[in-house]
Amino acid sequence: MKQRTLGTSLTVSEIGLGCMSLTGAYGSSSGPDRADAIALIRQAVELGVTLFDTAEVYGPFTNEDIVGEALEPVRDQVKIATKFGFAFEENGVPGGGVCSRPDSIRRAIDNSLRRLRTDHVDLYYQHRVDTTVPIEDVAGTVAELIEAGKVLNFGLSEAAAGTIRRAHAVQPVAAVQSEYSMWWRERENDTIPVLEELGIGLVPYSPLGKGFLTGTIDATTTFGDGDFRARTPRFQGEALAANLALVDLLNELAGETGATPAQLALAWLLNQKPWIVPITGTKRGERLTENVGASAVELSDDQLARLRAAADQITIVGARYPEENDRMTNLDAPLPAQ
Residue 217 pLDDT: 85
Show me where the domains of the chain are located. Answer: 11-210+266-297
For residue 293, give Cα distances in angstroms to 14, 16, 133, 260, 272. Answer: 11, 12, 41, 10, 18
Which amino acid is it at 234? R
Residues β-bridged to residue 6? 10
297/224: higher pLDDT: 297
pTM metric for this prediction: 0.92
Residue 11 pLDDT: 98
Residues β-bridged to residue 12? 4
In three-state secondary structure terms, 116 is helix
Residue 335 pLDDT: 40
| 123-126/79-84 β-pairing | parallel
Residues β-bridged to residue 184? 181
For residue 180, give Cα distances in angstroms to 100, 102, 251. Answer: 25, 29, 20
Of 128, 181, 179, the residue nearest 333 (C-alpha): 128
Average confidence (pLDDT) over 248-254: 88
Is 37 a residue whose pLDDT tops 90? yes
Per-residue pLDDT band for 333 (boundaries 50, 70, 90) equals very low
Q: Number of C-alpha atoms within 13 angstroms, CB side, residue 74?
A: 19
Q: Which residues are CB-contacts of 292 (< 8 A; sequence separation ≥ 6)?
A: 1, 15, 44, 47, 48, 49
For residue 270, give Cα distances in angstroms to 16, 146, 252, 273. Answer: 12, 29, 20, 6
Which of 23-27, 124-128, 171-175, 265-269 has the weakest average pLDDT? 23-27
In three-state secondary structure terms, 62 is helix
Is 328 a residue whose pLDDT tops 70? no
26 tagged catalytic? no
Average pLDDT, the chain: 90
- Contact between 215 and 247 (Cβ < 8 Å): yes
Backbone angles phi, psi at 183, to 5 degrees: -115, 15
Q: Report pLDDT digits (tens) over 161-197.
A: 999 999 999 999 999 999 999 888 889 999 999 999 9
Is 327 a residue whose pLDDT tops 50? no
Residue 324 pLDDT: 53
Residue 161 pLDDT: 97
- What span, in angstroms and rounded, lies between the C-alpha atoms of 153 and 82? 11
Per-residue pLDDT band for 219 (boundaries 50, 70, 90) equals confident
| Class for the domain spanning 11-210+266-297 | alpha beta
Average confidence (pLDDT) over 3-24: 96
145/255: higher pLDDT: 145
Taking the C-alpha atoms of 15, 111, 109 and 145 in order, what is their torsion angle to the nearest 10 degrees? -130
- What span, in angstroms and rounded, lies between the C-alpha atoms of 136 and 147? 16
Average confidence (pLDDT) over 95-112: 96
Of the candidates 58, 125, 180, 321, the residue annotated as catalytic is 58
